[in-house]
Amino acid sequence: MWKWEAEGQPRAVIAIIHSAYEHHGWYAWLIEQLRGEGYHVLAGDLPGHGELNRKLHAHDESFERYDQHVQNLLKTAFSYDLPVFIIAHGLGAVLAIHALRKGFPVAGVVFTSPWLQLALQPGKMASALTSLSALTASVKITHEIEPTMLTKDVEKVHTLMEDIPYNTTVSVKWYRELQLLQRDITTLMSYKFPNVPILVMTGENDEIIELAAAKKWLYQQKVAEMHLKEWPNCSHSLFQETERDSIFLFMMDYIRNVLRSIGYIVK
């Protein structure tokens, strides 16, 4: 886990949870922007991701380990005794929803391109394999995400992928755990989401997630404040897009408004 503290009196703490196959370095620009606006920022690499996992052949981490990582991140964020926000992308958004069942009193959440339902499935045989016996658990399948699916700025993504390999191979067991978590959140409604402000942002041209599923989940939540923003001409990784400055300013307006609503304003 890493911490980037703002100079002077901070406005709040922001915990960043990255998506599958990424690492915290993908959010370097976002972290610096947040620090410049007066926010402490915390982030870390999910288990099986990042510098220590360059030679990993396939993702087979348990989602219990992911959950523990997110809970540790949030516990550290709350140690500052400041309002806490979550910015979570892709798989990270699903993990955040799962962790918030523990009652973390966050001030607000920002979910970008949440993996509540995938339009692009990993491997042609993924659905069939996950319905078979435990003998298939170690079978490997590939989530064939191309750089052009992430952002129009393909050169930027290539640089990120070369830094630490973007490994999209997963075990059937891993994918099955993801499916079960998605089902519990979206279909069984097993997770009662806390009454905190929610901002969900998606890209109009996202080929990886089902945009309708993200909207449906948001509108099912019994919260006092919710916002949905679909960015035209944008793909999956919004903070890697050419429009990221506008996306960041939109998000900042949301966060500042939440802080004003709870009476916590730093000059």
Q: What is the pTM of this model?
A: 0.94
Query: What value does the mean pLDDT take over residues 237-255?
Result: 97
Nearest of 72, 81, 143, 142 to residue 102 by alpha carbon: 72
> What percent of the chain stands above pLDDT 90?
79
How far is it, in rounded angstroms, from Cα 14 to Cα 77?
A: 7
Query: What value does the mean pLDDT take over residues 183-195?
Result: 85
Q: In this predicted model, what pLDDT tens digit does every residue of 39-75 receive, in sequence order?
A: 999 999 999 998 877 878 899 999 999 999 999 999 9
CATH fourth-level superfamily of 2-261: Alpha/Beta hydrolase fold, catalytic domain (3.40.50.1820)
Domain extents for the chain? 2-261
**For residue 132, is pLDDT > 80?**
no
How far is it, in rounded angstroms, from Cα 107 to Cα 194?
A: 10
pLDDT of residue 158: 83
pLDDT of residue 126: 58
Nearest of 217, 31, 192 to residue 115 by alpha carbon: 217
Average pLDDT, the chain: 92
Q: What residues have CB less than 8 Å from 197, skipping those under 6 apart? A: 107, 108, 109, 223, 224, 225, 226, 227, 254, 258, 261
pLDDT of residue 130: 57
